[in-house]
Amino acid sequence: MIRALGPGFRLTLALTILTGLLYPAVMTGLSELIFPRQANGSLVTVNGAVVGSRLIGQGFSKPEYFHPRPSAAGNGYDATASGGTNLGPTSAKLLYGTTKTDDKGKEIVDFDGIGDRIVHYCLENNLAYQSSVPLDQFKDSQGNLDDVKLIKAFNDPKSPLVFTPQTPIPQDAVTASASGLDPHISPANADIQVGRVAKARHVPPEQVAPLIAQATERADWGFFGEPRVNVLLLNVALDQHFPLSK
């Protein structure tokens, strides 16, 4: 019986060395030789410091930067918790959002919802809209939108809030990707944000717009996918061309 186990043991050892050590070592070496940037994570550096990867999205919320699409990865763009909402297109939670009560008994946002995102997108980018109720009713004492009030208005069973943008909103502006880590937005989404970014940086929009074309990646091999704008590369270019005064 021991003699019968010998060939199996030797074969297992040989395959372990071949597929577990030699093959990965050869592939890693070839990758480093042929595709060094991709093999090391497609890292983006600024002044010698790594600021991110062109393959993994990260959150930008300040007005002077282009904003990525929403993220459902953890608390937003958490690379350790990649994933989507798994909510269907008819889900009331996805469309209108939900609230919950925290440990202190305070009502807070549980899930913002597409309706809430559309409102913020319109206000942030100065887009025209029609609302069945004046939005001032949903603002706090500092003049900021109270998302809890807004979500409850969307979910009002008797008289729900109806908010209609007068400009088509790109889907990626208000929906998360399946991974929650998509580093890209659509060119249409980027174009809408130009005015806000230019105003925050005190430069003409005509000077900001060309940077979008530089950060736009075309369809792979000419036909796979759609043109998309890498948000990190675009924002890095913004800081290089129009640095913010400190």
Q: For residue 50, give the 3-state DSSP assignment.
A: strand
Q: Is 122 exposed, middle or buried (0-12, 13-18, 19+ CB in 10 A)?
A: buried
- The answer to whether residue 29 is domain-embedded is no
Location of structure tokens 């019986």: 1
Per-residue confidence (pLDDT) for residue 184, from 0 to 100: 97
DSSP state of 64: T
Q: Tell me the pLDDT tens digit for each residue of 10-54.
A: 888 888 988 988 888 888 877 777 766 676 778 888 888 898 899
pLDDT higher than threshold 70 for residue 2: no
Mean pLDDT of 214-227: 84
Q: What share of the chain is helix, strand, coil (3-state, %, to 5)?
A: 45, 15, 45
Same domain for 169 and 91: yes
Is 6 domain-assigned?
Answer: no
Residue-wise pLDDT tens digits, 173-197: 999 999 999 999 999 999 999 999 9
Within this chain, do residues 161 and 219 fall inside the same structural domain, yes or no? no
Percent of the chain with pLDDT over 70: 96
Please report, as a single letter, which amino acid is at residue 28. Answer: T
Domain count, the chain: 2
Domain that holds residue 97: 85-175
Q: Is residue 33 part of a domain?
A: no
What's the rounded mean pLDDT across residues 71-92? 91
Q: Are residues 93 and 104 in the same domain?
A: yes
Strand partners, 45: 50
pLDDT tens sequence across 147-171:
999 999 999 999 999 999 999 999 9
Q: Which of these three, 142, 175, 208, is where a domain ends? A: 175
77, 92: one domain:
no
Please give the Cα distance from 205 to 194 (Å, whole number): 6
Predicted TM-score (pTM) of the model is 0.85
The residue from 175, 199, 227 where one domain ends is 175
